[in-house]
Amino acid sequence: MTQTLTISLTGITDLPPGKIAAIVTSLEMHARPELRPDPPGTDRFALEPIDGRDTERYLALYRLLGERWMWFSRLVKPRAELEAILTDPAVSAYAVRQDGRDVGLLELDFRVPGEAELAFFGLDEPVLGRGGGRWLMNRALALAWAKPISRFWVHTCTIDHQGAVEFYQRSGFGVFKRSIEVDDDPRLAGKMRLDSVPHHPVVA
């Protein structure tokens, strides 16, 4: 059953218990920007494709990277639906590898003709701040603009890393829309640990 909520545009709107809310910022670019050099020391990173046969690996990596930032959309999808996404030839997912282990995720979605969405982009905490984000964005830009697209876009939200919007802007994306996203708290449904995302605590 679809639920509705009237949101005040000039004040505070209380959410029902069990719900989460975030301000979503959407960004886009319409031409490939000039690539910035890879930072020193990032030659140890590599991309390895993931597909529907690697669903367990994908989910393990998704949880590793996203549990602290409330990534849950893939966790609540039926397994068959997720496998269908990962096997779709218009979706490209990659594990970021460093020293023999998975440390990041890149997922590009080309299912809308002429467009690419940066669906998921993240690195494990121990490798942050060492140039890995720039290295990975350089690969994302190259892979996206190698296709016949005229628009590359991404969205992030206020539950995500506080530096995400600035990073995307430095990478050539420009803000074009803000939205309010309300959903069921996945922690209360058992899809994530109750103590995950401590900066956005559970209100049951």
Mean pLDDT by 10 residues, the chain (204 residues): 79 93 97 92 94 94 94 95 96 96 97 98 90 96 98 97 96 97 95 94 92
Residue 2: predicted pLDDT: 66
Q: Which of 4, 16, 36, 65 is nearest to 197 (CA)?
A: 65
Distance from C-alpha of 183 to C-alpha of 75, rounded to nearest angstrom:
14
| CB neighbour class for 78 (10 Å; exposed up to 12, middle 13-18, buried from 19) | exposed
Q: According to CATH, what is the number of the domain 20-32+44-184? A: 3.40.630.30
Domain spans of the chain, in order of start: 20-32+44-184
Check residue 6 and report its DSSP letter.
-
Residue 139: predicted pLDDT: 97
